Structure 1
C-alpha cells in the first residue's frame, strides 16, 4: 500500500470511529419493555477493532514519515513539520495584514505601523514555499510504500 493510500484509509477509519460513536448512543439506554435496535456489545467490539486498526496504521504512517527522505527537506516528517509551520505563518501574516488595513479605514488620523507591501511580499513568499513543499510531500506520498 502506498503512503497516500494509508493516509486516506486513516481518514476513513477516523470517520468510522465517529460513526460508531454516534450509532451506539441511541442504544445505550432503552425502556424496560423495549429492545435496542442494535446490539451495543457488537458496536463496542467494532469500535475497539477499528481503533486498533487505526493505531496500527498510524504506527506504519509515522514509521514511514520518519524513515523516508525528501530531496532538500530531510525526512518526510521534517517536511510535514515545515509545511505546517509555513501554513501557520501564512495564515497569521494574512490576519495581521487584514487587521492593519481594516483597523485604519475611515480615520485620517490613523496610520499603519508596519510596511504592508513588505508584509505582502513575505505572505507571497511563504505561500510559494508552502506550495512547493506540499507538492514534494504529495508526490512522495504516492511514490512511497507504507512501511511495516
Structure 2
C-alpha cells in the first residue's frame, strides 16, 4: 500500500469514527416503551474496532514519515513540519495585511471630516507580496510531499 492510500484510508476512518460517535450519542438514551433506532452498544463496538484500525494506520504513517528521506535530505516529517509552519506564517502575514488595509472592517474610512483618519502601521503591498512568496513556497513543498506520498510504500 502506498503512503497516499494509507492517508486516504486514515481520513475515511477518522470520518467513520466521528459518524459512529454521533450515532451512538443519538441512540444512547430512549424513551420508555420505545425502541431505539439503532443498537448503541453495537455502534460503540464498531467505533472501537475502527479506532483500533485507525491507531494502527497512524502508527504506520508516522513511522513511514519519519523514515522516508526527501530530495533535500530531510525526512518527510521534516517537510510536513515545514509546510505547517509556512501555512502559519502565511496566515499571520495575510491577517496583518488585511488588518492594515482595513479589509472587511468598517471604521477605516471616514464618514465625516470630523472623524479621525485611520492609518496603516504596516506596508500592505509588501505584506501581500510576502504572502504571495509564502503561498508559492507552500505549493512547492506540498507538491514534493504529495509526490513522495504516491512513490513510497507504507512501512509496517
How many residues of Structure 1 are paired with residues of Structure 2 in the alignment?
148
Q: CA RMSD in A?
A: 1.9
Q: Which runs of 5+ in 2 are unaligned?
A: 111-115
Q: Hey, what's the Cα distance between the residues in 1 that align with 2:149 and 2:50? A: 23
Structure 1 window deviating more from structure 2 (62-71 vs 101-110): it is 101-110
Q: Which runs of 5+ in 1 are unaligned?
A: none
Deviations 1:40-87 (A, max 9, x none): 221111011010000000000000110011111610001001001101
- Partner of 1:69, secondary structure, is coil
What residue in structure 2 maps to residue 106 of structure 1? 109
Q: Contact 2:79–2:145 (CA<8 Å) still a contact in 1?
A: yes
What residue in structure 2 maps to residue 5 of structure 1? 5
Q: Contact 2:109–2:117 (CA<8 Å) still a contact in 1?
A: no
Q: Hey, what's the Cα distance between the residues in 2 that align with 1:98 and 1:73? A: 36
What residue in structure 1 maps to residue 47 of structure 2? 47
Q: Contact 1:6–1:57 (CA<8 Å) still a contact in 2?
A: yes
Q: Contact 1:67–1:75 (CA<8 Å) still a contact in 2?
A: yes
Greater helix content:
1
Moved segments of 4+, more than 6 Å: none
How far is 1:6 from its partner? 0.6
- 5 Å matches for 1:75-114? 75-102=75-102, 105-107=108-110, 109-114=117-122
